[in-house]
Amino acid sequence: MQYIIKHFSELTTEELLEIYKLRVSVFVVEQKCPYQEVDDADRNSYHIWFQDEDGIQAYARVMDGGVTFAEPSIGRIIARKRRCGLGSKIVSNGIQLAQERFHAKQIKIAAQTYAIPFYEQAGFRVISEPFFRCRRSACADVVGTAERIIHQQRERVVKQYIVDAFTDRIFSGNPAAVCVLEHWLPEQQMQNLAMENNLSETAFIVPEQDGYQLRWFTPSGEIDFCGHATLAAAYVLFRFVPQQATTLFFSTQSGNITIQKQADCYEMDFPAYTCHPVAVTAEMEQAIGVKPLEAYLDRDLLLVLENADAVRNLQPDFAKLSQLDGVCIAVTARDTEYDCISRVFAPKMGVPEDPVTGSTHCMIVPYWCEKLGKSSLTALQASRRSGVLYAKQCGNRIQIAGKAVLFAVSEIFHGNSSRN
């Protein structure tokens, strides 16, 4: 997913056309509300959007004070894909842009009344009575004005949990940081927290009506999927946040994820990756030091080795690994004690070797289920910390279960204030 920031003067005619088509289709056609959607405020706006191969998936425009309100403002907010975090992400990025470009201390948004709970979760509050954008009965999309107070002058505190995932003892498994928020922080602040933690992933959780929104950051950037940090997030919510049921629902960039608590395990339901066979190359052999028997590619690159000892004794060249395709590079083989053994490397994301990787097992599990003729597996990830995953394949979904243990709880002070 590509993120783009452009002032009106920088937009190409094609970009402007796609933006207007999207806005009119949502605010005029879909909502059956005839009004002057394209206005002069566009000329004085920064236009921000996320796009993929299917076009613009989320959009907003950001304006300085004096354009539509006395304060800097964000408007025309659209997320085409619902319940995957894009709406929160475009709002968060809009807030960050308003701070950076206009030094905003307050931001105002004209929000449709049905969306007010969404903006309240992002830290806004209602400051006006509802009013009508258009008078036709079919356009009873009442809007209210919301204001976000950006607390730059005072200290803010976030409680953070460090959890070792896919293990039942500390100093093993894969550690992840988990921050439970009331509303999203600016994206750069979340990235800074992940950099400061210097763990493979830091998870950020914000409550929504039917569950939680979940995002994951590595020290070098946001990623679309992380298994062990999802397990860590579920552990924290079940242990420290009162829950009405034994099932949690997360909305993420990769779609909806369901977590069920089962005794001392947490079972996660993930989309399966597809094992697309690719040719074994000399570059692969040079990067890992041995020639793979087979190679497969989806989000990650999966290299199949001859035996478990080859996996355990591997000494990869991380510089050469980072030149291979795939976000993560996984090596795997049969094992005598477990159904399969693996190790996972992610130098592109600033993680030389990941201790235990739930997301990559969404590729490892389908491969070994087919090879072994089984629907369930016990998998060992043989990093120095090591961890065990219990997995089942259910059609195009993978259920991965594991244990978790709390290592630490801390308070993080962030913002612009200094501490002595």
Domain edges within the chain: 2-149, 156-246+405-414, 276-395
Whole-number Å distance between alpha carbons of 256 and 280: 34
Residue pLDDT, tens place only, 193-228: 999 999 999 999 998 877 899 999 999 899 989 999
Please compute the mean of the pLDDT values over residues 329-354 and round it to a whole number: 95
Q: Sign of dihedral through CA atoms 282, 284, 286, 290?
A: negative
- For position 243, what pLDDT does the model report? 78
Catalytic residue among 71, 147, 187, 201: 201
Beta strand 247-252 with 294-297 is unpaired
The tokens for 102 are 């206009």
**Residues 113 and 130 sit within 8 Å (Cβ to Cβ):** yes
Choices 3.40.640.10, 3.30.70.330, 1.10.287.3510, 3.10.310.10: CATH for 276-395 = 3.10.310.10
Closest among 148, 94, 101 to 121, alpha carbons compared: 148
Is the distance from CB of 166 to CB of 201 less than 8 angstroms? no
- Tens-place pLDDT, residues 101-152: 998 888 888 877 777 777 777 778 787 766 555 544 333 333 334 444 444 3
pLDDT band at 83 (very low <50, low <70, confident <90, very high): low
* CA dist., res. 324 & res. 281, Å (int): 10
Nearest Cα neighbor of 120 from 157, 142, 86, 148 is 148
pTM over 0.85: no
Q: Which residues contact 385 (CB under 8 A, 6 or more apart)?
A: 167, 171, 172, 173, 174, 355, 356
Instruction: Check whether 417 has a pLDDT greater than 50.
Output: no
CA nearest to 310, candidates 329, 291, 286 = 291
User: Rounded to whole angstroms, what are the CA distances from 338 to 172, 335, 404?
Assistant: 18, 5, 20
Q: Which class for 184: exposed (0-12), middle (13-18), buried (19 or more C-beta within 10 A)?
A: buried
Sign of CA dihedral 234, 238, 240, 241: positive
Catalytic, 201? Answer yes
Asked whether the predicted pLDDT for residue 30 surpasses 50, the reply is yes
CA distance readout (Å), 127 to 130, 132, 150, 230, 284: 10, 15, 15, 36, 59
- Note the pLDDT of residue 58: 93
- How far apart CA 10 and CA 418 sit, in angstroms, is 37
380 φ, ψ (degrees, to nearest 5): -110, 130
Strand spans (E) along 113-241: 124-126, 143-149, 156-165, 174-180, 202-208, 211-218, 221-223
pLDDT digits (tens, 9 = 90+) for 232-277: 999 999 999 877 788 999 999 888 899 999 888 999 999 899 999 9
Instruction: Taking residues 61-72, report their average pLDDT.
Output: 91
Q: What is the mean pLDDT of the chain?
A: 88
pLDDT the model gives residue 142: 31
Average pLDDT on 67-96 reads 85
Do 156-246+405-414 and 276-395 show the same overall fold? yes
* Identity of residue 50: F
d(CA 307, CA 336): 10
Q: What is the pLDDT of residue 7?
A: 95
User: For residues 321 and 346, what is the distance between their CA atoms, to the nearest angstrom?
Assistant: 8
The per-residue pLDDT for range 303-330, each reduced to its tens digit, is 999 999 999 999 999 999 999 999 999 9
Q: What confidence tier does 156 reach under pLDDT thresholds 50, 70, 90?
A: low
Specify the CATH architecture of the domain 156-246+405-414: Roll (3.10)
Query: Is residue 294 predicted with pLDDT exceeding 50?
Result: yes
Task: Report the distance separating Cα 34 and Cα 28, nearest Å.
Answer: 6
pLDDT at 139: 35
- The superfamily in CATH containing domain 2-149 is Gcn5-related N-acetyltransferase (GNAT) (3.40.630.30)
Q: Quote the pLDDT of residue 141.
A: 31
Q: Which of 30-39, 101-110, 390-399 has the highest mean pLDDT?
A: 390-399
